[in-house]
Structure 1
Amino acid sequence: MQDQLSLNVSLLRRRVPNLTTAAKAVGLRPATVSNLCTGKISVGRAEVRTLVTLANLANCSLDELIIQGGKLSMIETGIKTVDLFAPIVKGGINGFVARAQVGQLVVLAEITQNLKEKGFETILLAPDKEFTGLSDLEGFIDAKVHSIEDAFAEVSLRDEKAKVILQVDRSFVVSGDLYQLRERFEAEGYPDITTILFDPSGTAVDEDDPYGPLDTMCYFDIDLASRGIYPAIHPVQSTSLLMEEDSLEDRHSKVNRKAKKLLRRYKEIRVLLNSLGKDKIPEADLELYAIGERLEAYLSQPFHVAEEFTRIKGERVSVQDSIIDIEKILSGDYNHLKPVELKFRGRL
């Protein structure tokens, strides 16, 4: 495990909850700050002035701001699109960005169910207001609370705190309560608690920076949902610090990059097909489009928590099996199959 320099993002979040806004007010570009926090810009490439300004904002020294540590690790969920394109960072802050009714709560429920079998316990820090689908999630969690005090108490009761998943409504991010809670965890010497932020109201998608800096952002796509492709996770727009910091196996990272590149082009060709027609599209692009269709179909997946509604047996797929399948799809090994034959399957 190679050591590397990175920002102490946890400290920044606690001391400057509205980081991008505060950074802009003192002359820093919000995009630069966000990219430093996610690892898209390495600390070694950052201007000294930027680092000093961030340290001043957080009222800390440069030694406190810049940390040297090992690589991050992921928690495998068995969900193809999550593990390949938006892997959950262990001990990190992971965020779901979605319109209402596109399936984010179903994905949360499936993650909860799958991880329970690995010994994880899930605590839901829920809003007081009721949202459609939120009550369905309660059947899979271990505890539901409405305040950070109760959330702290529930985490304190767990013997294996490193195997706690804290699911948090966005309102606790906006209020700054989440960062107070994480500060209490740190003060007690608890390990970093894996946190998944969600927004049942569907309004976060309209914000430029819905949660502040995240370790992983899982972005949901209303177009996929409208075409009945679930989970409706956007593989191109979803991002993870794990990818930026090369914290995953090389094969995983390569497949991620190749698949994103192809899907990006596939979406462009799809727009042209709809406007110009098939006859105006070069043959090479049509071949890429066909592979993109197969890959998009393969990334759909039947969930255990939805079996009652879909009448399809749920499937978990290991990240290694997903990588092998996608490599074969990209290389054309499944060109003899129609996209519909790859839809709502587990491993091939």
Structure 2
Amino acid sequence: MDRSFKLNTHLLKKRVPNLTVAAKNEGLRPATVSNLTTGKIPIGRAEVRTLVALSKIADCTLDELLIFEDETEKIETGIKTIDLFAPFVRGGTAGLVAQPGMGQLVLLAELFYRMRRLNFYTILFMPNEAIQGIDDATSNADCFCSNVDDILRQIETVNAEQDILIGVDRSILLSGDLNEFKERMNNEVDDPITYLIVDTTGQAVDDDSLYGPLESLWSFDMDLATRNMFPAINPVNSTSTLLENEYLEASHVNSIRAAKKLLRRYRELAFLVDRFGETKLADRDRVTYHRGLRLEAFFTQPFYITEPFTKKTGVWVSLQDTIKDVQSIMDGKADQLAVDELMYRGGI
């Protein structure tokens, strides 16, 4: 599959606020640099010395300056925990690491439902055998396939304007069938295909290799699951390659760092509270503990596919609203709200 490069303009603008002046000082024509950053001049027509000079100005490597277009595009899912802490990469691979009963197959089904709303064609690629809890994912996918040839036949019928999302069982990855499929796709399909890998056996939790290279890792948390706080994704341990090389806006990155710091400290304090009680906390730690409680509760979210069982209407929360509300909680603007008032809702 041919993949085009583009300049990492977000990195350039952040590191070099006055790019025109800096470029001129390096002997570059400001008009040329401007046309490169806006896409008027394709990267393929840029002189090597120009790109080297830009990497010098931004104090970065060429690998950081030149990025694949499909590698930097995130898919907004409307799920607060994913969009904030571990964004889903279009054309990438996301791995769900969980033990059975922690809700990973529910999340898979929910993502199928949401991505279909975004005009994705969704395929469930699973071994042809009974898997407990897979029914929701099957009913929310456009089709179910158990071998590579079936998927290729299905893809031939997909509208050219649709993206493709494939949910894959880890057993297929381990068998080598997924790698074979990806190789064939690279030769036969121009548009990127996005993959979701789930482990229906729960063995990946104890496996050092997990799934191999991933663009997004969503690690589930047993403590959250046992307290019925879903999606039970651990925001501290989950991550995405979009957090690297400054692909995300500064407000997003700052929110991630601050929220993870608060949640780490909250979990340390929660251990102390469980053992010795809240009265042993210093005043400052008590504030941190209660804001952590609220932030943790805020990341619970009702799903569309579970509406018949929970009687709660599914919600879609934009990334910008999530960032705004997370900041409000961390700033103490939600201190007057009870923790239960933040459970299973959209925005504040």
TM-score (norm 1): 0.79
CA distance in 2, matches of 1:237, 1:269: 18
The RMSD of aligned alpha carbons is: 2.2
Q: How do 1:220-235 and structure 2 match up within 5 A?
A: 220-235=220-235
Deviations 1:243-283 (A, max 9, x none): 12322222111111111111111111111111222232221
State the AA in 2 paired with 1:302: P
Judge conservation of contact 1:162–1:191 (CA < 8 Å) in 2.
no
1:236 matched to which residue of 2? 236
1:87 CA drift (Å) = 1.3
CA distance in 2, matches of 1:235, 1:170: 22
Q: How do 1:272-287 and structure 2 match up within 5 A?
A: 272-287=272-287
2:196 matched to which residue of 1? 196
CA distance in 2, matches of 1:334, 1:315: 20
2:7 matched to which residue of 1? 2
CA distance in 1, matches of 2:308, 2:68: 45
2:178 matched to which residue of 1? 178
Q: Secondary structure at the match of 2:271?
A: helix
Deviations 1:29-73 (A, max 9, x none): xxxxxxxxxxxxxx9599xxxxxxxxxxxxxxxxxxx98534611
Judge conservation of contact 2:164–2:192 (CA < 8 Å) in 1.
no
Q: Secondary structure at the match of 1:151?
A: helix
Q: Secondary structure at the match of 1:139?
A: helix
2:319 matched to which residue of 1? 319
Deviations 1:293-346 (A, max 9, x none): 000000000111001111111111111111111111111100001111100001
CA distance in 2, matches of 1:206, 1:162: 36
2:246 matched to which residue of 1? 246
1:69 matched to which residue of 2? 68
1:216 matched to which residue of 2? 216
Q: How do 1:1-348 and structure 2 match up within 5 A?
A: 2-3=7-8, 68-70=67-69, 72-160=72-160, 163-348=163-348
CA distance in 1, matches of 2:88, 2:286: 34
1:221 CA drift (Å) = 0.6
Judge conservation of contact 2:7–2:67 (CA < 8 Å) in 1.
no
CA distance in 2, matches of 1:217, 1:209: 13
State the AA in 2 paired with 1:289: Y
User: Which protein has the larger Cα radius of gyration, Structure 1 or Structure 2?
Assistant: 2
Q: Secondary structure at the match of 1:81?
A: helix
Judge conservation of contact 1:217–1:240 (CA < 8 Å) in 2.
yes
Judge conservation of contact 2:163–2:191 (CA < 8 Å) in 1.
no
Residues 161 and 168 from structure 1, CA distance in 2 versus in 1: closer, same or farther, beyond 3 angstroms? farther
CA distance in 1, matches of 2:145, 2:301: 30
Deviations 1:166-224 (A, max 9, x none): 11110111112111111111112422201111111111111112101111001111110
CA distance in 1, matches of 2:7, 2:275: 49
Q: Secondary structure at the match of 2:99?
A: coil
State the AA in 1 paired with 2:263: L
CA distance in 1, matches of 2:171, 2:190: 24
State the AA in 2 paired with 1:121: Y
2:44 matched to which residue of 1? none
CA distance in 2, matches of 1:69, 1:170: 26
Unaligned runs of 5+ in 2: 1-5, 10-59
CA distance in 1, matches of 2:339, 2:315: 18
- Number of equivalent positions: 292
1:227 CA drift (Å) = 0.5
1:129 CA drift (Å) = 2.6
Residues 344 and 192 from structure 1, CA distance in 2 versus in 1: closer, same or farther, beyond 3 angstroms? same
CA distance in 2, matches of 1:343, 1:250: 28
Judge conservation of contact 1:162–1:192 (CA < 8 Å) in 2.
no
Residues 293 and 187 from structure 1, CA distance in 2 versus in 1: closer, same or farther, beyond 3 angstroms? same
Judge conservation of contact 1:119–1:163 (CA < 8 Å) in 2.
yes
State the AA in 2 paired with 1:104: Q
Unaligned runs of 5+ in 1: 5-42, 47-65
Deviations 1:101-158 (A, max 9, x none): 1111111111111121111110010122322210221111101000122122222321
State the AA in 2 paired with 1:130: A
CA distance in 2, matches of 1:67, 1:175: 34
CA distance in 2, matches of 1:138, 1:239: 27
Residues 68 and 113 from structure 1, CA distance in 2 versus in 1: closer, same or farther, beyond 3 angstroms? closer
Q: Secondary structure at the match of 2:140?
A: coil
State the AA in 2 paired with 1:328: S
CA distance in 1, matches of 2:162, 2:252: 24
CA distance in 2, matches of 1:315, 1:232: 16
State the AA in 2 paired with 1:91: G
Judge conservation of contact 2:122–2:164 (CA < 8 Å) in 1.
yes
1:161 CA drift (Å) = 6.9
2:56 matched to which residue of 1? none
CA distance in 1, matches of 2:125, 2:308: 26
